[in-house]
Structure 1
């Protein structure tokens, strides 16, 4: 049955340029000599008619597909089949690729956006037949652009990632991407990104209120049973505040806001003598202190 003739170099990728010429060649060992059939697949797997720029020439056990003045639509993959009607045919796929500037990258998107850095990912397009380099540019106003990342890809394809650092928290940045090779710069990626970094979350130094809550209220009302009871109230307030201040860092802003409200309430008790005096006077009448104590003791 027909099979590839390894004595003749088999080239499965051929490069040319727009309006240039090219030759695809396939040589087999077969008896009787086979019949060759070429079909155009483009960038998929569906057979199409050969382009007008292509002409087929057969020489016994070798076939050539010759192109003159290649159009952009002529580039892609071609399937050749050698069939001698006796056994299974031999088949090969040969690519005709353009030599030029790189195709634009695609699937450009951000990942892992933080306060001062972020990551960008994309997939490489066709490199134009040469090694390509990716350029990521940054802008604050979408007008003036600066090169912020450069990655030499060589002949590799697939996914690429770059990390952009030293950004300002809570700020908006624009990013665009393209590739270049020795023939020049390719087109920009279809997607241009506008990304805002996260705002920085920090907590101000927290006030230690354990001493002031216990002593401040007692000092305001003096000593005696009433002072003891209000001192106990102050201790309860201090305990509540301390418990809230010991929350996790992820809720530090919420805890601080709640703490500020409690400190504000405590200031009103301590700094308003008109509020404190009636309470103190009432506590010295009969067994009022016992009733107050009964109400506040079950915590």
Structure 2
């Protein structure tokens, strides 16, 4: 059996009584001068289609009279869509009697509604209404309001603030489409008066003050709060640990300094000792045969005056220079001279006292070496 699909579009219409179409901005008050032509426009939602009937309040008779098309009034009804409609009433203002209230009755077989309008002479704007403020900060206050009738001309708004209700600071003109404003760069914890004025090409409206929630005509900014983070007191344990660390670092530093100083002193002492012994003549020490006594005296002298190294070196060089001057060969040369003399005497006398002579030679030799040792000590 074949599978068939059917598709069909249906339009569902819901019946309703007429009501004002709030999606469209409606001007309920219109201003104009004598001989001006103004329009009253009414937009509604309705199904089935509505019937528009206009009325005006005749200020001469005090009666509400229906409006018919003539030289003063002209009504045009338009269907915008299947359920939205518009009616436009054009008024030729020929006298002051047309500055009055107007009503449009919109009805169908379900129900009806009435919408009111006002035609006025061009004048200054009406005062704004419903002025309210948002929560203030320490340096700003933001307000909003509802615009009034513009007096038949384009209007704008001025927001003013003062601390004494005498000297006022004004904002730049604000468009009618933006009925809100933030006053900035205010002083913290300060009371302000705030008011709004409507203005058009004819004149300014009366100023309207902002009324606070407590009923006063002033509003106060908040106190300034320090944004810096709170200071947290240091923990006692943290301070103790920090003190210990600093102490240890100081001790280590002092120990390093002491070690460096000790090394420098040792190095300098070694250099001084080397300078002291550099002036000694090793050959002279061997020749004298009395090294111990001589060098003990020198070491004793150095220990007594450690800061006079140059003086000790000079004295040592002088002492050993004198030792070099008395060479052992001089003594032996004198011995040779004595020996030659004795030999000559022996040849002349040929006596038997030769042993006595050599005994004297031995004594002279000892005496010579004794004198050599004394000079070395000197």
The TM-score range, normalised by the shorter chain, is 0.3 to 0.5
Structure label with greater radius of gyration: 2
TM-score, structure 2 length as denominator? 0.37
Q: Comparing both chains, which one has the higher relative contact order based on Cα–Cα distances under 8 Å and sequence gaps of 6 or more?
A: 1
Question: Would you tell me which structure has more strand in proportion to its own residues?
Answer: 1
